[in-house]
Every structure is written in C-alpha cells, then in structure tokens.
Amino acid sequence: MLANPFETDFLPPLQVIDAPFLTEAQVRFSILRADLSHSALSGNKYYKLKYNLLAAKKQQYSTLLTFGGAYSNHLYATAAAGKLYGFQTIGIVRGEKHEPLNATLRFATDCGMKIVYMDREKYRQKTATSVINELKEHLGEFYLIPEGGSNELAVLGCQELGAIIKSYSPDYVGLAVGTGGTMAGIIKASDKNCQIIGFSSLKGGTFLENEIEKFLDAATIYPKWLINNDFHFGGYAKSNQELFNFINDFEQTYRIPLEPIYTGKMMYGFFELIKKGFFSPHTHLLAVHTGGLQGKQSLFK
C-alpha cells in the first residue's frame, strides 16, 4: 500500500465555454473538469472515497464492502480504489448475475473485486443490522461504505471539491445529484453569496432535500441551495433520444464527454435555465463535471 494515497491531490482545471446563447444571456459559463482527476477513480467519487479509505486504513481494515447496481459508478470507483490502495473489495450487486458481465462489473472483477449478488427484496433491507451481520458471517470483517458512497466522510471529502470550486468564485454552481453527498459537501464549503443548484438524476420528490439536510448542521447558515427536479428524463438511468442528441452535440461542439445518467442531464438542465433567463447578467455559472463516463459504452446505444 502507498504511504498516503492522497499525498498529491489533483487540481481539476476550469474550462470556459463560449456559445451564442451564453453571450446573449451575458453570463460566464465554465466547467470544472473533475472528470479528469483519474481514469478509474474519477469525478466526485475520488472525493467521496478519500476519507473513507484513510479511515479504513487507520482502523486496519483490509477489506472494503459496498453496494450498487450493475452499472454503478460507485462500485466501479471502489473497485479501482481497492486496487490502487491495497484493499480487498467486495461489491454487493442488486439482482441476479448476468453472463457475460457488463463492462462495469468486468472492470470491477479485473480490479479484484469479489462480486456477490443479492436479490432485490433483500437488497432493499441492506442497511438492516441483520443483513450486515449475515454478510459478515459469510464474508468476514469489512469496512462498510453505503450504497452510492454518501456518509459523513464522503461529505468531508466533497468539501475539498467545494473549496476548489469556491476558489473560482462562481455565483452559481450546478451539479448532478444522486444521493446528495457531493452536493452537501459543496454546500458546506461554498461562499455564502453563491447559490448551489442540484440537478436530480432521479425522480425524487423531496427526499433528496432531506438527505442533504442530514449532512448539514441545523445551526449553521449555508449558501442558498435547491434541487431542480425538471430534468431527470423519467428517472434514474432513464433517458431519451433528445438527451442523447444533446450529449452528442455537446461533445462535438466542446470536445467534452458527458454521459446520460448524471452529467448529461445536469448540463441539459443548466443550459435550459440559462435560455429561460434564470440567471442575471454578469454572473459566473460553474458546472461541475462529476465524471461517471465509465458506464457510457453500456448505456449509450
């Protein structure tokens, strides 16, 4: 294992985007390329795992266990982190085994991750002590990282991402939201005058607000933040031709890859809000590219 896996943190670059509709809206639009941080441990997943890995190491765990769907970016990143930093990894995957393995699970397996399938009914109970104890009985001791990777230590890591964002002085920050841990960290680290907009990638109602609030301190005054639910395209992992066309156009115009689960929806929504005049002139809008490009081959047909 490396002495300190995170001795030299990568500083994601800011890429400024030009387009006629941005000039017309008189806004400055930039993209924080956190997707470039690492080929396998990319985007927000790096920040979410960082302090979990350090805690696991400090507590002398040799195995990490986590949960995810068969295309999960979190599972993929955890497998990569295990290989890079010397942990055994176990991925509990929702549903049944499908052969041949998809690209995500093949990568995870190649990294040494042991894949264990769990039926959907039990998977829903995965946070129950009885289920965790049963896993321990069968698989031995492990450091547990929740599905999607959002816990207090993940939020702490994402505060570092938030500090980088703050250093670029945006007036608005837009990011894709799944479980809300990344957004919570960014809210905590942002300037009070900044506004954070989370584009929900799933059909959530108000549960995401609650998830985020769990990580915030009730007595602290944070910057304004909100969840936008208008661009989930039918729900998690749902998409349509319009979204695919947008992503293709975006890639051709700006040479920046997006994927249809998170960053494509966020960018589509962000652009729509600009076109609708949501942002006042002379503001700096920053979109966070949270990575997630690994699942693309399987999902982008």
Ligand X SMILES: *Cc1c(COP(=O)(O)O)cnc(C)c1O
Q: Interface residues with ligand X (CB under 6 A)?
A: 43-45, 73-74, 148, 150, 176-183, 262-263, 290-292
With respect to ligand X, which residue has the nearer C-beta, 135 or 293?
A: 293
Residue nearest to ligand X (CB): 292
Min separation Cβ 151 and ligand X, Å: 10
* Cβ atoms of 177 and 227 closer than 8 Å: yes
Residue recorded with tokens 């991925």: 91
With respect to ligand X, which residue has the nearer C-beta, 25 or 68?
A: 68
With respect to ligand X, which residue has the nearer C-beta, 25 or 247?
A: 247
Q: In what order do the strands lie in the sheet with 14-17?
A: 14-17, 28-32, 284-288, 172-177, 195-200, 224-228
With respect to ligand X, which residue has the nearer C-beta, 184 or 285?
A: 184
Min separation Cβ 184 and ligand X, Å: 8
Min separation Cβ 101 and ligand X, Å: 20
Min separation Cβ 139 and ligand X, Å: 24
Q: How far is Cα 270 from Cα 286, in angstroms, rounded to an integer?
A: 10
Min separation Cβ 160 and ligand X, Å: 14
Q: How far is Cα 68 from Cα 261, in angstroms, rounded to an integer?
A: 15
Give the count of beta carbons closer than 10 Å to the beta carbon of residue 218. 5
With respect to ligand X, which residue has the nearer C-beta, 194 or 227?
A: 227
Q: How far is Cα 47 from Cα 231, in angstroms, rounded to an integer?
A: 25
Q: How far is Cα 23 from Cα 29, in angstroms, rounded to an integer?
A: 10
